[in-house]
Amino acid sequence: DADVTQTPRNRITKTGKRIMLECSQTKGHDRMYWYRQDPGLGLRLIYYSFDVKDINKGEISDGYSVSRQAQAKFSLSLESAIPNQTALYFCATSATSEADTQYFGPGTRLTVL
Amino acid sequence: DQQVKQNSPSLSVQEGRISILNCDYTNSMFDYFLWYKKYPAEGPTFLISISSIKDKNEDGRFTVFLNKSAKHLSLHIVPSQPGDSAVYFCAARGGSTLGRLYFGRGTQLTVWP
């Protein structure tokens, strides 16, 4: 079984809809991250959390919110989706003792029409 | 503003030859650098890293070189194999914030037989 899982893997939605992307991990890591990847733009950090009570904005947090429901779960919400949020979204985790080595989930491909 | 730059979006190399992927950074506070590899439909996976106190780190066919004065690092793959065909991301640790990584835009490596 995968250590970092993301659901759904693919999602098509319409402008203005609320959508939630979920991430779960079995690695026991404290730190979790949400990134988006756009063609030619690499990976950009949306939000990160260093423990259950800690939430931090990344480079591109506008239009997104997150919830760290438990050590193993970190969800990303788009309150009102817009077409330029069409992208590939990745969740990642890392251990505090090995903070720079991040383990990524398989990604969620989101399309906003 | 892109703090980690990969100026070559693609690289094509014949099997058995050396692949050299380059990365430049602008933030002199970066002190730890990583390379990730990404196959289609998968999340990025950690490949190799280097601390700023070193100028070289080797792991099998993969070697990373760091030139701090030039703010430049490179990943050498020798010999290149078709299975190395993937997108390679350069990443740097963001100053004193452990676990906060800044990624380049990636280089698509194609190794042909």
A22-43 pLDDT, tens digit per residue, is 999 999 999 999 999 998 888 9
Residue A11 has pLDDT above 70, yes or no: yes
- Predicted confidence at residue A39, as pLDDT, reads 83
Asked whether residue A101 carries a pLDDT value surpassing 90, the answer given is no
Chain A neighbors of B64, CB-CB under 8 A: none
**What is the DSSP code string of chain B?**
--SEE---SEEEEETTS-EEEEEEE--TT--EEEEEEE-TTS--EEEEEEETT-SEEEETTEEEEEETTTTEEEEEESS--GGG-EEEEEEEE-TT-TT-EEE---EEEEEE-
**Residue B4 pLDDT > 70, yes or no?**
yes
**B16-69 pLDDT, tens digit each:** 999 999 999 999 989 899 999 999 989 999 999 999 999 999 999 999 999 999
Q: Which chain A positions have a beta carbon within 8 Å of B43's beta carbon?
A: 4, 90, 92, 104-107
Provide the pLDDT for residue A112: 96
Beta carbons of A102 and B46 less than 8 Å apart: yes
pLDDT tens-digit profile of A69-92? Answer: 999 999 999 999 999 999 999 999
Interval B76-110: pLDDT, tens: 999 999 999 999 999 998 666 666 889 999 999 99
> Which of B89, B101, B103 is the closest to A100 by Cβ?
B101
The answer to whether B53 contacts chain A (CB < 8 Å) is no
pLDDT at A100: 74
CA dist B68 and B90 (Å) reads 15
Per-residue confidence (pLDDT) for residue A99, from 0 to 100:
63
Average pLDDT over residues A33-60: 92
Query: What's the maximum distance between 2 C-alpha atoms anywhere in chain B?
Result: 43
The verdict on a CB contact (< 8 Å) between A48 and B99 is: yes
- Nearest-CA distance from A63 to chain B in Å? 20
Q: How much is the pLDDT for B98?
A: 60
Mutate to test the interface with A, among B10, B42, B98, B102 (most CBs of A within 10 A): B98
Distance (Å, whole) CA B31 – CA B19? 25
